[in-house]
Structure 1
Amino acid sequence: MQKLLLFSLLSLAQACHAEVSESLVYDYYTAHAEPRRSLFDVLSAASPIRQKRQIFHGHTNWYVKWTMRWVENPNRSCRLTKFKVDLSGKILLPKLENANADQQMEFSNYLSELRVHELGHYDIGREAAAAVDKAILALPEMPDCKALEARVNELGHTILRQYLDKELRYDAVTLHGRLQSAWSGS
């Protein structure tokens, strides 16, 4: 019984410790309402978000990075002892100034839907971070530490590319948020 308990404690001590953290910040650009201009025109004129000749009213960036620790065994094989994934994100949204009550109500409704769309992008970043964490933690011991480090980085970057493709599909399926009411038509 004592040997079994000791073996279990040693196994737990040798297991890789994982840690996933995330941070999300919001940033805003200012748009000034004008009585005779549509919300779409006001936001489009103020937006700094321009990609491939298109103007967008919101944008999300997310980044996944990882750090690792390993131990080299007496036979020179190598295994992870700690793996940490960090997800950071930034959502850029408009804020409307000088709006009358009707304009502010229209903007508030639109902003709510735009935020939902942008959080969809961030959620894809969350999925990517979780997938990297899960895949790396499942890696077996490697013949040496250089091989382990190379495999961790290769696998992590492959997963990130898959989730960046998923993000492009998300925009295609939602028509950049139009199908989620995250679009103020002209």
Structure 2
Amino acid sequence: MKRTIITLLPLLLWLALPTRAEVQEHLQEQYYDVQVVSGQSLNRALNEASPIRQNGQIYHAYARWQVQWNFWWREQRDGRCRIDLTRTRLNATITLPRLGGGDAQQRQRFAMYLNALREHELGHYRIGQAAAAKIDTALRQTPEYPSCAELQRQANQRANAILQRHIEQERQYDRQTGHGRTQGAWLTE
């Protein structure tokens, strides 16, 4: 009899723990090449080289992020269900230009511009980080439901609502910063 109690004790302790969570983040930078010759407009060279085009607009940098979530639940004998474990992943890629050629003044100007571009795109990434953290928290705080089907539906609705709010926050971020202009990501030439 003691052996059964000892064997069940770790399982009972694990079941009594609060919901466990794990947020994983992966950020990757990728580059496209820009060739500029002395005297050439840096802005024009970037516009010609940039692969980033949306709605008829050319952008010199871009951040793309995606949040994925999983959760595991435990069903009680009476059918009630609650989440025991969550795993939320944020995968992001920032695309930036890489300068080749140019004179010292162009390279210096590009370096300052690139820093501002990177900072702006990291702002997008931080919005993705906030989305992932809030989704994970919301999933862990999902209350118990009368059935696992209802739990799954409600948890995914909560996560998707948070995701949509952060996608809108990204749009507002671009409007407020003029797609990075107010942060120095702007070439006048």
Correspondence for 1:13: 16
Offset at residue 15 of structure 1 (A) = 1.8
* d(CA) in 2 for partners of 1:179, 1:61: 21
Q: How has the CA–CA distance of structure 1 residues 24 and 121 changed in structure 2, closer, same or farther, with 3 Å as cutoff?
A: same
User: Matches of residues 29-40 of structure 1 in structure 2 within 5 Å?
Assistant: 29-40=32-43
Distance 1:61 1:185 in 2: 26
Kindly indicate whether residue 155 of structure 2 is the aligned counterpart of residue 152 of structure 1: yes
Q: Structure 2: how far apart are the matches of 1:115 and 1:147?
A: 42
What's the CA shift for 1:102? 1.4
Return the offset for 1:185.
Answer: 1.9
1:124 corresponding residue in structure 2: 127
Structure 1-normalised TM-score? 0.92
Q: Which secondary structure state, in structure 2, belongs to the residue aligned with residue 17 of structure 1?
A: coil
Q: CA deviation at 1:11?
A: 8.1
How many percent of aligned residue pairs carry the same amino acid?
41
Q: Does 1:179 align with 2:146?
A: no
| Alignment-derived partner of residue 88 in structure 2 | 85
Q: In 2, Cα distance between the equivalents of 1:112 and 1:78? A: 49
1:97 to 96, 100, 104: 100
Quote how far apart the aligned CAs of 1:139 are: 1.1
CA contact (8 A) 2:83 2:139 kept: no
Q: Which amino acid aligns with 1:173?
A: Q
**Could you tell me how far apart the structure 1 residues matched to 2:90 and 2:132 are?**
6
Find 1:137's aligned residue among 126, 140, 148.
Answer: 140
Q: Which residue of 163, 168, 181 corresponds with 1:165?
A: 168
1:65 counterpart (48, 63, 68): 68
Q: Does 1:75 align with 2:78?
A: yes
> What amino acid maps onto 1:136 in structure 2?
L
User: Which letter does structure 2 place at the counterpart of 1:49?
Assistant: I
Residue 14 of structure 1 deviates from its aligned partner by: 4.0
| Alignment RMSD (CA, Å) | 1.5
Q: What does the per-residue CA deviation read over 1:131-156, in whole Å, with 9 as the maximum and x for residues that have no partner?
A: 11111111111111111111111111
Counterpart amino acid of residue 109 in structure 1 = M
Encode CA deviations 1:153-177: one digit per residue, 9 max, x unaligned: 1111111000000000000000000
Q: Structure 1 residue runs of 4+, over 6 Å off? A: none
Alignment partner of 1:28 out of 31, 43, 48: 31
Aligned partner letter, 1:67: N
Give the Cα separation in 1 of the matches to 2:136 and 2:72: 14
Q: Deviations over 1:13-55 (max 9, x none)?
A: 3421111010000000000012232111111110011111111
Residue 42 of structure 1 corresponds to 45
The number of residues matched between the two structures is 179
